[in-house]
Homo-oligomer: A and B are copies of this chain.
């Protein structure tokens, strides 16, 4: 297919569908705008987990089962660090460390995150346009019921999503601008796909950038539900909804994206939610959302593209 698609993506589920779109489209017709709210500094290194997960997946280098890191990597550096009493709550593989070392060096030399990402993609042979939502710093903070404002990775990895959440805050967002080119990429696109990523912490940071939200107005935007039967394939989304007093459902997700999306892909097991979602003016398409392998990713991407096409007039 040859139309131009912009995907919004965060963690593992988003990276999987981005990879499916990359297989289904002319590779240079895909742009992926990636969440940076999860980015953090660890051992003095700038870690961009969502960018790396998208890039590693598109380059065919992602770890097959972890959902993060590189395939066939080793953990010698972290084993030594642990032996010396260093932090080991966030595991950096040895090859993965090479990515963070060079990214950190290049950012410290004055390059922007989007410049570094473009350079890395070129070296990894990725022909899609992977772009961080912003070259400015945005830090997702998890507000807990214990009254704390916690760094995202502290919540997500170190504390294994155990604290009860009562909200989220994106530090730095007001001062942040979209990365250069994002406005034009969205303007030139034929379809925008919100990947099956966590709406609260993966997609909301992107949509909270006002210029991005405005650019999406009037564009054909569809979302793929990150919940199947009320459960996330990976991650704390279902738990978050419950802690926020919302029943985890496709309807809850669609409510999240109301006013932005025209259509939504849901799993067949959630077909009973069709009417409730369509009451929001959002057309649904039910299929099998689970992506167990590369073929699933491509198949779901093709279905999303066809569904998107059916909702919009594409030249």
Contacts and interface: CB of A to CB of B under 8 A. Distances in A.
A295 interface: no
A105 B76 contact: no
Given A44-B44, A86-B102, 11 more contacts: A43-B104, A73-B76, A76-B98, A77-B98, A78-B98, A80-B97, A80-B98, A82-B98, A83-B98, A85-B102, A85-B123
Contacts of A94: 74, 76-77, 94, 97
A102 B43 CA distance: 7
A314 interface: no
Interface of A: 43-45, 73-74, 76-87, 93-99, 101-105, 108, 119-120, 123
Contact of A81 (B79, B83, B101): B101
Contacts of A83: 98, 123
Contact of A77 (B95, B103, B119): B95
A122 B62 CA distance: 37
Contacts of A74: 74, 76, 94
A119 B98 CA distance: 26
Nearest to A96: B80
Contacts of A85: 102, 119, 123
> Which are the 5 A-B pairs with shortest beta-carbon distances?
A80-B98, A86-B102, A76-B94, A81-B98, A94-B94
A222 B95 CA distance: 46
Most buried by B among A44, A74, A94: A94
Contacts of A101: 43-44, 77, 81, 86
Most buried by B among A78, A93, A101: A101
A68 to B, nearest CB: 15
A305 to B, nearest CB: 32
A88 to B, nearest CB: 10
A6 to B, nearest CB: 26
Most buried by B among A81, A85, A98, A99: A98
A79 B95 contact: yes
Contacts of A84: 98-99, 102-103, 119-120, 123
Nearest to A107: B44
Nearest to A108: B44
Contact of A86 (B82, B96, B105): B105
Most buried by B among A79, A84, A86, A103: A84
Contacts of A98: 76-84, 86
Most buried by B among A77, A85, A108: A77
A99 B74 CA distance: 16
